[in-house]
Chain A
């Protein structure tokens, strides 16, 4: 009669770490010469992951609160473009850095306002802002890369701050973990976090309990915007230039990471640890597939399938948790 719910519960919580370990094992076993766990490859993953990862952390928070943001793929290069323009205008990189975080937040604010004021599905709104900003950055830059090495030479203090190395550990990774820690504390131990979960799981109830649902959403969008600006600068510094193609595909990969991290597509469920692990899983998948000599464009096929499969598994375990009803 009684169902073994305890078992189901732990399965739901374990699936992300389990997938994490399994992907590592698979790629270790099958990559030619076990190159996957080669220190150089591990270092490369540690350096590359934070670009997407930092943005994905924000997207995770936003999705827990029940909304999506697809415009990150364009906001990121736009921020990067503004950053290079500031540098070219003679602004010190540190000042530009400080200026850019609120600028990123403004992009988020625009999305957030559009979403809460219209009450329309956020993926449509942010798809259209994605197109809009992409057009702007393409037109403004003429699609030409702009080198920032003259302003931020390799090894300069600013470059050290964002992309340097502490011992064997890339600074990017530390930033990523640090931001995850801060957001984790906010999400799991703060009042705002409580409101975010409430907004995501049942808006009306949250509103009835006096949570300013609109404000919560706007704040989440602004967090995403700022993180986009941060990732834009980190990536531009690593690449030594602005590129109009920065951030392309991030909108999907970020959602993929967050979903693989066990966050519900319907909001209200998710954890920072899961999201951070999800980011690594997606990056490892991409890296591992390339090591396995899957053609670059084929990687997308697998990421697309991985998302769908993982959501199916997640839904199945969740459904067992919640019973068959809906």
Chain B
């Protein structure tokens, strides 16, 4: 397993390097590798990347969450509303994070207890939460001046040593923590087992329902954390936050070698997969392609990633048979 997984991650790394080189070469005036763009990429990208990490772990546990974009939006609304009503941003952030976890808990409960296929349940919640955000904000565009909280903005969207975006630091930090949880910890073993063979895991007294519930809560937490980053950065709220991210997050995980059937995937792979998606998204913008092209691009990326994974899996099976 470690060997194969490592090979798989090296494959993703190769794809990432190719993409970066391609983007550097092909974007008009090589804007892709210019400092300004790299800074944007590494500051904006993690908003998506952090969510993708959570979605990846959930997929290892064998479930999907297609509501991430909507949870991001709803949490973003909570945050700007709380801060706007004069609350200390740290307190507001805490409440937002807790509400994100609570939303994840609801998702998990519906999947685990009501036994609804997770992609349908979260598809339903995708409509529900974004609709709720739209009702609550009542069409008003909300903005807020975050510069009055230098400490908070410094922590969330500042630059470490004036260079490295804090968002990137958070992204890497979460990836490292999740690496230890998933691949080196006891709970991680349960996550793999739950995704690989629920019945077996249950028979071995692994609390599979709890495992899934926790993973859903992790995704909720990651969405709410990303909403803090995005709201603080843009200082405004729209109901279009994170549209399309649900699929891109699945794509990131799959590109990184996570199985759509659960039970297989590594944090390194998921991390690199998230970077790949971040780069593609940025490239499309840099290449000045009309927005419509992103649909085609991501449609093909997901399909490509999925087919690649299938090929890898077939090879693995042939090798072990």
Q: B306 to A120, Cβ gap below 8 A?
A: yes
* Bound-complex Cα distance A131 to B297 (A): 8
Q: Bound state CA distance, A124 and B298, in angstroms?
A: 12
- How many whole Å from A106's CB to the nearest CB in chain B? 17
Judge if B149 is at the interface, Cβ distance under 8 Å: no
Instruction: Indicate whether A120 sits within 8 Å of B135 (C-beta atoms), given known contacts A127-B247, A307-B124, A315-B115.
Output: no
Residues of B within 8 A of A326 (CB): 115
**Restricting to B89-140, which residues have a CB under 8 Å from any CB of A?**
110, 114-117, 119-121, 123-128, 130-132, 134-135, 138
Contacts of B290-307 to chain A: CB distance below 8 A? 290, 292-300, 302-303, 306-307
Among the 9-residue stretches A92-100, A156-164, A171-179, A295-303, the one with 4 or more Cβ atoms under 8 Å from chain B is A295-303
Report whether A312 and B116 are in contact in the complex, using a CB–CB cutoff of 8 Å.
yes
Kindly provide the distance from the CB of A198 to the nearest chain B CB, expressed in whole angstroms: 20
User: Contacts A300-B128, A304-B125 hold; do A139 and B290 have CB atoms under 8 A apart?
Assistant: yes
Cβ–Cβ < 8 Å partners of A132 in chain B:
295-296, 299-300, 303
Distance, CA A26 to CA B116, complexed state (A): 27
Contacts of A139 in B (CB 8 A): 290, 292-293, 296
For chain B residues 149-199, which have a beta carbon within 8 Å of chain A?
none
Interface string of B248-280 (1 = CB under 8 A from A): 001000100000110000000000000000000
Is B200 in the interface zone, CB < 8 Å from A?
no
Does the CB pair A265–B124 fall under 8 Å? no
A77 to B261: give the CA distance in the assembly, Å: 31
Closest to B134 in A: A297
CA distance A92 to B239 in the complex (A): 43
Interface residues of A in 304-320 (CB under 8 A from B): 304-305, 307-308, 311-312, 315-316, 319
- Decide yes or no whether A128 CB sits under 8 A from chain B: yes
Give the nearest-CB partner of A138 in chain B.
Answer: B292
**Cα of A8 to Cα of B98 in the assembled complex, Å:** 39
Q: Does B310 contact A (CB under 8 A)?
A: yes
How far in angstroms is the closest Cβ of chain B from A74?
8
Q: Which of A114, A129, A302, A308 contacts B116 (CB 8 A)?
A: A308
**Chain A residue at minimal CB-CB distance from B121:** A308
Query: What residues of B have a CB within 8 angstroms of the CB of A131 in the complex?
Result: 247, 295-296, 298-299, 302
Distance to closest chain A CB from B291 (angstroms): 8
B260 near A301 with CB under 8 A, answer no
CB atoms of B125 and A143 under 8 A apart: no
Interface mask (B301-321 → A, CB under 8 Å = 1, otherwise 0): 011001100100000000000
B300–A295 touching, CB < 8 Å: no
A305 touches B124 (CB 8 A): yes
Alpha-carbon gap, A66 to B239, bound state (A): 34
Tell me if A219 is interfacial: C-beta within 8 Å of chain B. no
How many B residues have CB within 8 A of the partner chain? 41
Quick check: is A118 within 8 A (CB to CB) of the other chain?
A: yes
Tell me the number of A-to-B contacts counted with CB atoms below 8 Å: 124
A74 closest partner in B (C-beta): B295
Q: What sequence of 0s and 1s flags, for each residue 96-127 of chain A, a beta carbon within 8 Å of any chain B beta carbon?
A: 00000000000000000010001111011101
Partner of A307, one of B120, B296, B299, B310: B120
B121 near A298 with CB under 8 A, answer: no
Asked if B295 and A138 sit within 8 Å, CB to CB, the answer is yes
Decide if A130 is an interface residue (CB 8 Å cutoff).
yes
Given the known interface contacts A132-B303, A265-B120, the answer about A304 and B115 at a Cβ–Cβ threshold of 8 Å is no
Chain A positions within 8 Å of B120 at CB level: 255, 259, 265, 307, 311
Q: Are B250 and A135 in contact (CB under 8 A)?
A: no
Cross-chain contact A305 with B295 (CB below 8 angstroms): no
* Complex interface: chain B residues within 8 A of A319 (CB): 115
User: Of the candidates A128, A297, A301, A302, which one forms a contact with B299 in the assembled complex, judged by CB atoms under 8 Å apart?
Assistant: A128
Quick check: is A217 within 8 A (CB to CB) of the other chain?
Answer: no
Q: Give the distance in Å from the alpha carbon of A58 to the alpha carbon of B54 in the complex.
A: 35
Interface contact B124-A118, CB-CB below 8 Å: no
Q: With A130-B299, A131-B298, A131-B302 known to touch, is A312 a contact of B119 (CB < 8 Å)? A: no
Residues of A within 8 A of B250 (CB): 124
A205 within 8 A of partner (CB):
no
User: Complex Cα distance A305/B67, Å?
Assistant: 13
In this complex, what residue of A is CB-closest to B244? A131
State A256–B120 Cα separation when bound (angstroms): 9
Asked, given contacts A307-B120, A315-B116, whether A135 binds B292 with beta carbons under 8 Å apart, the answer is: yes
Of chain B, the residue at the smallest CB distance from A295 is B135
Q: Is B290 a contact of A301 with CB atoms below 8 Å? A: no
CA–CA, A298 to B137, complex, Å? 11
Q: In the complex, A119 Cα to B310 Cα: how many Å?
A: 9
B263 to chain A, nearest CB (A): 14
The docked-state distance in angstroms from the alpha carbon of A319 to that of B115 is: 10
* Chain A residues near B134 (CB-CB < 8 A): 295, 297-298
User: Please, how many angstroms separate the alpha-carbon atoms of A304 and B130 in the complex?
Assistant: 10
Contact B127–A252 (Cβ < 8 Å): yes
Given A135-B299, A308-B121, A301–B310 Cβ distance below 8 Å? no
Give Cα distance in the complex from A139 to B295, angstroms: 10
B residues in contact with A135, CB < 8 Å: 292-297, 299
Chain B residue with Cβ nearest A139: B292
A300: contacting residue among B117, B127, B261, B303, CB under 8 A: B127
Q: In the complex where A128-B306, A139-B293, A265-B117 touch, is A308 in contact with B299 (Cβ < 8 A)?
A: no
Q: Given A135-B293, A300-B127, 15 more contacts at CB 8 Å? A: A120-B310, A125-B306, A127-B247, A128-B300, A131-B302, A132-B296, A134-B295, A135-B292, A139-B290, A252-B123, A300-B128, A304-B123, A307-B120, A308-B116, A308-B125
Q: Which 8 A-B pairs have the closest CB atoms?
A: A301-B131, A132-B299, A135-B295, A135-B296, A304-B127, A131-B299, A138-B292, A304-B128
A-B contact pairs, 21 of them (CB 8 A): A120-B306, A124-B306, A129-B299, A130-B299, A131-B295, A131-B302, A134-B299, A136-B296, A139-B296, A255-B120, A266-B117, A295-B134, A295-B138, A297-B135, A298-B134, A300-B131, A301-B127, A305-B128, A308-B116, A311-B114, A312-B116
